[in-house]
Amino acid sequence: MSIAEAADTLQVLTFDLDGETFALDAGVVREVLDATAGTQVPGAPAFVDAVINFRGRIIPLADLRVAFGLDRRADNIDSRVVVIEYDLDGDATLIGLRTDKVHEVTEIAAGDLEAAPRVGMRWRSDFIRGLARREGDLIVLPDLDQIFLTRGGAVGAVVPLAPS
């Protein structure tokens, strides 16, 4: 990652969600798995409503589509789970993210990255870290900190986590 930063580029993994292209910092990605329904956790926020067995560890399965208000669809042959390792309240936590299709690891030049416009967006702008234009396509970089903090919007405003 330091090499990528030195060259002023960001290494990302791109994937599809309901026809939109998203990208995650490749540094946090641990593994890409075939899609699995996982085990439903009744009573959990819709954004993380399931858990899966990842190499003997039980990890939450999150769905960014909920955060962005996109349609959820049944898994198909292209569906994948991207496992990331992410700092959650100080704990390095493995989290699975549902995706429709995983494309590639690619580079985004820092210059191509722009902040999300405050207005005129389909989605909550605080959930977006930036937008990148690439070959006429728009890539969305989600702000995982905000999304995880609000449980994908389930707890409304951005407040520090506390048992309700």
Would you tell me which residues interact with another protein (CB under 8 A)? 38-45, 48, 51-53, 56-60, 62, 88-89, 91, 93, 95, 148, 151, 161, 163-164
* Minimal distance, residue 88 CB to another protein, in Å: 5
Task: Give which of 127, 135, 75, 73 is closest to 104, Cα–Cα.
Answer: 135
* Minimal distance, residue 44 CB to another protein, in Å: 5
19/90 with CB nearer another protein? 90
39/114 with CB nearer another protein? 39
41/105 with CB nearer another protein? 41
CB–CB of 32/101 below 8 Å? no
Q: How far apart are the C-alpha atoms of 93 and 86, rounded to whole Å?
A: 5
Going by the DSSP 8-state scheme, the letter that residue 115 receives in this structure is: P
Question: Parallel, antiparallel, or unpaired for β 101-109 and 91-99?
Answer: unpaired
- Three-state SS annotation for 52-67: EEECCEEEEEECHHHH
* Minimal distance, residue 15 CB to another protein, in Å: 20
27/45 with CB nearer another protein? 45
In total, the chain counts a number of residues equal to 164
Give the Å distances, CA to CA, from 157 to 106, 127, 138, 143: 33, 12, 27, 15
33/110 with CB nearer another protein? 33
* Minimal distance, residue 101 CB to another protein, in Å: 24
* Minimal distance, residue 125 CB to another protein, in Å: 23
